[in-house]
Structure 1
Amino acid sequence: MRIVLGVGGGIAAYKVASLLRLFTEAGHDVTVIPTEAATRFVGVATWEALSGHPVSNSVFDDVHQVNHVRLGHEADLIVVAPATADLLARAATGQANDLLTNTLLMASGPVLFAPAMHTEMWQHPATRANVETLRGRGAAVLEPASGRLTGSDSGPGRLPEPEAIFDAAIALTQGRSDYQLPLAGKTVTISAGGTREPLDPVRFLGNRSSGKQGVALAVAARNAGASVRLLAAHMEVPPPAGVEVVEVETALQLREAALAAAADSDVVIMAAAVADFRPAEISGTKIKKRDDAADPVISLVRNPDILHELVEVRDAAHDQARRSQLIVGFAAETGDGEGDVLAYAEAKLRRKGCDLLVVNHVGTDKVFGQDTNAVVILSRSGSEPQEASGSKTEVSTAVISRIGYELNHVSHRA
């Protein structure tokens, strides 16, 4: 596929180098057209090296090839990232004062804009009108991600992660409607891994969780356009690029981090394996094994129910935005003589009060540390249970897709 990649003059231009790499590694032929301002952030040499093509932003270079006409005509897809407020305005008003805007006017295929700018610029009526104009003409304009911007500012206006833009671009060329990204502009907090409760400076009570499923969820949420915060508890896999990472060790630390992160989150997914109990006392020195001493007795106390507390805080909030927050729990269950996995999970869903509960049937050789998974998604709204299986990436995609559906179609939380 022949792609024209237009690069606007914003600080997020450095991220577009990764987007270019994704396109070329997928076998696409990419011509990069940066604006003059964009070359102040990333030089022409970088774009030429990564694309394998000469790079220019002037209509007067290679005039004999009539590039200002040819590039738009030949492109199967045009992607503009970052699409700054200025670039959106010039595109909406049909200006043709550089090679990129000329190419946009000559486009015969789909066009995708990935905006990035400060929140006030994105929310300004002029920018919103320009976006609606472009959409009205058939262009796809993604919603920006929400999160840290230049300086200390934070809010909607971040460039979506390169992987999310790539997925949206491919979806657009395939005629799919999911190019809008179901979690665009949303902030998602995800816990992953397993907590450890110290007995002494050497030993701890822990579990078999590797963090693979939580990391896969973070990738899927990021690729769906969300700004992702990962609460990482002793993961065996590295966190993905493009997400904020908060490291925790114990259940109490995870509780503190989760309550703080939930304050500005649209979605909270508690996928970490949290210890139900912790030692009542922690020895300051290693517990010794002595022949003349009795076997130690370890007393346990109950850890707080973080998921239930998140629901209580959400439901007690006065502002509508917080009350519409979607909370997702994970249940690692085993059946016994008194009930099967789903029976215990349905009881847990009622007890916790979360909106969705993702249920695993776990065991020594099931789920923990594995690359595959099989889950059932239960909903508080009473809809039919949804099954998902395959790789943990595939399961995560199904969970995130269900979350997007709940956010856009289910209003029982409001």
Structure 2
Amino acid sequence: MKQTHKERFNKNLIKYLYLSTFLLGIASAFILYLESDYFKVALQSENITSFYIFAYGLALVLMLNWHHLVRLYGKVRVFQVSLSAKLVIAFFLTLFPVSVWSVWLLVVYITFTVISWLDMDNLLEACSVDKKTGKIRGLYLTIENAGYLVAPFFSGLLVSRYGFQAAFAVSFVILFFVLIISLIKIKNVDHCPIKKTDFRSFMKKIFLRKNVLKAYYISFLLEFFYALMIIYTPLYLLDLGFDWFQIGKIFTIMLIPFVLFQYPAGYLADTKYEEKNMMAGALFMLAISTMIIYFVDSKSALAWGAVLFTTRIGASLIEVLRDSYFYKRIDQRDVDITDFFRTVRPIAYIAGALIAAPIVYIFHIKLIFVIIGLAALTGIPVSLSLASSRIPSVSSKSMYKA
């Protein structure tokens, strides 16, 4: 499909985006692994899936329409609005005790967390160039996950001593600093004209991009993994007798691969190997390591840290390679396609919650890990069938983005 492809590399802006990403990573991780237990405590029940379905259903509706707001107001202003909404909700969650009413605040907080990361994607794409996409995205994800790595230990410690409100208080403070950075330093982002399209034309545009759809499926498998692991791993570990302080240490070990492997993988994707081949290998690693969890019943925090560490090796590679491949096939004017691509997270959470609920009710949480592994295996042939991601010459580039 013919289309021109405009790029502008803004190194100075990327530095502030990286700083904001690190802080957002800390703020997000302070809450992310607590969510399922928060719902469970508030409701006095393990039947929590409906709240995830509502939160990510709302996120899905907003994401499908978010490009209209970007077209009208620009990427920066929209990011500041979504960040402000999240900041206000975090403030109220620090004040209100855990209850059936506060869970609705958490639902909206989850929704705007998804939206704020979508906005960060749009901002980063606006100041990136294809030939450096793997390295830019690899470093971006490494920095984001360094924030995630810092948070679980301290989050677990705070919650074990002071309760959930302490974690939201820290998140509020960090989000406040991100908002200040965005108001002062994140400026001069090109507000590239975005063509208004109706839904039918948009869907036609999407389905013409076969490789984008294949990348979407691989992304769905990764987000499906994240959804079920984030919801059910903390609950399973709590059932085994671990407390939040121990779980915080386990999750800190678990997240190390994201800091170790993502930038090197992005660099290799730009310089030596095809994303599609590396993703196939990473999917196999993810599948096998996750299914092994079914057989683990250890009460050792170190053992669980090691087991979960192995699952995140494959996940960390898929995450950066997926982004590297996708963002080489679009440019900053494709906000609608970016919004569509990022709908995969709410769709995966909704699908994961719907699939997991009857399994957990009828069987056992452990079966979830087998289902995740089997699903991941289906992505291997899809990955290998992707078109090459190699950047063509300028003369042929208009034919490249399919």
So what's the TM-score if we normalise by structure 2? Answer: 0.25
**Rg larger in structure:** 1
So what's the TM-score if we normalise by structure 1? Answer: 0.24
More helix, by proportion: 2
